A and B are shown apart, each in its own frame.
Chain A
Amino acid sequence: MGKFGFALSPSSRINLDTLDNVKFAHLIEIEPDVLKCMACGSCTASCTAGKFVKTSMRSAILALQNGRNEEAISLLKSCLLCGKCTMVCPRAINTRHLIISILKVYQ
């Protein structure tokens, strides 16, 4: 805070200009289904782990696309891989493999 008692506040803005896409490209290679999400939220609504702690496939995909990798991991590390999201996804995304791949690529 220094002598002023306040400081520049960090930007909460998503800056796509500074996005590093290398990992995401790698993820697409492993599991191209990541591109298919249309953010309907079914996965999050049906999530077994989501009953206890915020767990969201949809938000994680979005976070990755916005360069918020840490956030994506924190949204998925609670996942139990039960597969309910795979069953309810209207775009038939292979969510379990996507989750494992995200955790593997970004950890």
Chain B
Amino acid sequence: MRERIAGGYDNFVLPFMIGMTFIFIYLFIALIRLFAHIPPKDRIKFFKSLVNPKILYMNCRDILMDCLLHVKIFKRNLLLGYMHASIAFGWFMLIVVGHIEMWLYVPQRNGLLYYPVFFRYFVKQEGDLTLKGAFFFFLMDFFLLMVLSGVGLAMYKRFRSTAMGMRRTTKPCFADRVALACLWSIFPLRLLAESFTAGIAGGSFLTKPMYWLFANFLSDDTHILPTWWAYSTALGLFFLALPFSRYMHIPTEAFLILLRNAGLKVTKPRKGFAEAEIYSCSSCGICIDACPMNIQKKNLPFSSVYFIRFLRRHNTRKINQISDKCLMCGKCVALCPVGIESCGIKRAQRGTLYNSIKHDYSYLAAAHHTPAGAPEILPDNITPAAMMGTATAVAAPATEKVLYFAGCMTHLTTSIIKNLTEIFESSGTEYVFADKDGGVCCGRPLILAGREDAAKEVIAKNTELIRSSGCKKVVLSCPICLKVLREEYNLKGIELVHHTQFINTLLSQGKIKVAKGAGSMVYHNPCELGRGCGIYREPLNVLEQLGELKRAAKEGKESICCGGSLGSLTLSYEDRGKITQGSLAALTVNNPERIVTACPLCLKTFSDKSDRPVVDIAQIVNENICSVR
């Protein structure tokens, strides 16, 4: 194998080089801009992470698994996974192997960007095929075939997306269409170009037969150069369209993995980390099917993928419209193959709108928890002042009692409070009822509405109240409270559990025993409990001991929001009703007698629309307690 074209240059590489130069300059500027918007503290964190071996390992693994092999998509649908992986991994390998060939055969051309891309044009095969040569020829044809098969599947998906497990796909924009046309033509053109030159430069199982085939009816070599021109032009155009198309995710995604592994979070809705997320979106459209709102076709334009597209286009009106409407159920985030935290971006966007709203929570200074009636449950040395949470309050001495924090919404579902307190008594759990007479909101609703500053005051107050109780364990009934207490409160040393977890522990410790008499049921996993707090196993564990647990159409992290979510600001009651019905339909596919949930909001929302009883896990447990202690 040696150089065929003296000087290693031909004019047809120009389109490619223009595209390549453009994209390098573009990415370089974008990178600088992005870093400029990352808070300095985060920037330092990022650079430190690059030398941390543990994170380095994570980065490599994630880039391989997510960017190249698309493992997440594989898990979802094999064909869809293969489609993504074949193009990404195949292309990547073509580049790698191309470079290796160059290094091996024409090391003098090292550093020429275009050379490995158009390698087959510039070289010619001399003498007999060596084993080494045959190996590379084979690899190159193999990966080209792999990519081509992926492209073929992609074309097929355009027409029949359901075959790949997708009911709905994203509507491409103009730049997407241009880039897509280029992308689809790049590899067939490369196949043609390499096939035409296979007589000179050699080839393997794919290109050689193609060469012979064409040689039958193509008399001369005049078609070779135009084909290479076409190939180069397709590549060049693709690079030019790249920043304006969904394919920008190709360079960005890997970078996002680095940022994410460094522990960075969204601070601004459009700049910095968020920008990396925005450009990492491949517009694959998995979030469209994931979104519970899309039970109604009219809500399709409110899917996360379009939210991100409008963010890229700076369309503020649409951005606000979508971010206000989103339920924040987190399902699109859970299913996103790139792991884009679109809910976080939406929250940040709401912050730009609502964080400046003035509030007056000065009354909180006088707020105090009213422990369950009897004064004897107060430890002797806690002064009323301490309970009042006034300035003189000091952390009370530790107590063995658990603190029960029902939360605002739970006060609308008295069945939860009644059953859970009975379970406390049955199991001999001593507890202090923090908000028996109503308490202070946990702050999560404010955070969800983008009012972080207001939330801070509420959080500070509640932290003080919880700490002043002296309890080392807080049991919560509302997953909304649980999530914010875990994530935003500084309650080090205090264990925070949802009542599903608490009941599970009671059962495993044998403090209560239950009979398997609850009949058949299905479990609805509340958004904030499952996707929000990662609590999936405990409720199922409890319910399995109570009766026949039926499957729902969507479970676990794919559980469908009940429609009552506090996350959405503008979704109408009618539209919420449709979501509730959709969610109920998914829950009742196997016709359970009852629906069990573990969130007061879900309980109340479902109860209004369900054709069968909806109960909280605390109730179904309490009903089936057969012996105590």
Contact = CB atoms under 8 A, between A and B. Distances in A.
A87 B441 contact: no
Interface in B435-456: 437-441, 443, 445-446, 449, 451
B265 interface: no
B359 A78 contact: yes
A103 B409 contact: no
Contact of A94 (B408, B449, B570): B570
Given A53-B363, A100-B449, A80 B441 contact: yes
Interface in A25-76: 31, 46, 48-49, 51-53
A94 B411 contact: no
Interface residues on A, range: 20 to 34
B354 interface: yes
A48 B408 contact: yes
B10 to A, nearest CB: 61
B458 A80 contact: yes
A100 B409 contact: no
A46 B412 contact: yes
Given A87-B409, A88-B412, A92-B573, A48 B440 contact: yes
A94 B366 CA distance: 29
Contacts of B440: 48, 80
The DSSP consensus for interface residues of chain B is loop
A3 to B, nearest CB: 40
A26 to B, nearest CB: 15
Nearest to B573: A92
The DSSP consensus for interface residues of chain A is loop
A96 B569 contact: yes
A105 B576 CA distance: 25
A44 to B, nearest CB: 14
Nearest to B412: A87
A77 B458 CA distance: 13
Contacts of A48: 408, 438-441
B358 A82 contact: no
A57 B204 CA distance: 76
A80 B573 contact: no
Contacts of A97: 324, 569-570
A88 B564 CA distance: 12
Contact of A77 (B358, B366, B443, B445): B358
B441 A82 contact: yes
Contacts of A77: 358-360
A13 interface: no
A49 B363 CA distance: 9
Q: Which of the listed residues A77, A81, A97 has the most CB atoms from chain B within 10 Å of its own CB?
A: A81
A91 to B, nearest CB: 9
A52 B363 contact: yes
B409 A96 contact: no
Contacts of A52: 363-364, 366-367
Nearest to B574: A92
A80 B448 CA distance: 12
B20 to A, nearest CB: 48
A83 B458 contact: no
Q: Which of the listed residues A46, A48, A78, A104 has the most CB atoms from chain B within 10 Å of its own CB?
A: A48
A104 B412 contact: no
B51 interface: no
B354 A100 contact: yes
Nearest to B600: A87
A70 to B, nearest CB: 13
Contacts of A87: 409, 412, 564, 601, 604
A100 B569 contact: yes
A9 interface: no
A107 interface: yes
B445 A83 contact: yes
Nearest 8 CB-CB pairings of A with B: A92-B573, A80-B441, A82-B441, A53-B363, A82-B408, A52-B363, A81-B445, A77-B360
Interface of B: 324, 353-354, 357-361, 363-364, 366-367, 408-409, 411-412, 437-441, 443, 445-446, 449, 451, 458, 564, 566, 569-573, 601, 604
30 contacts: A31-B570, A48-B438, A48-B440, A51-B437, A52-B367, A77-B358, A77-B359, A78-B359, A78-B360, A79-B359, A80-B361, A80-B408, A80-B445, A80-B446, A82-B408, A83-B409, A83-B566, A84-B412, A87-B412, A87-B601, A87-B604, A94-B569, A94-B570, A94-B571, A94-B572, A96-B445, A100-B449, A100-B569, A107-B357, A107-B358
Interface of A: 31, 46, 48-49, 51-53, 77-84, 87-88, 92, 94, 96-97, 100, 103-104, 107
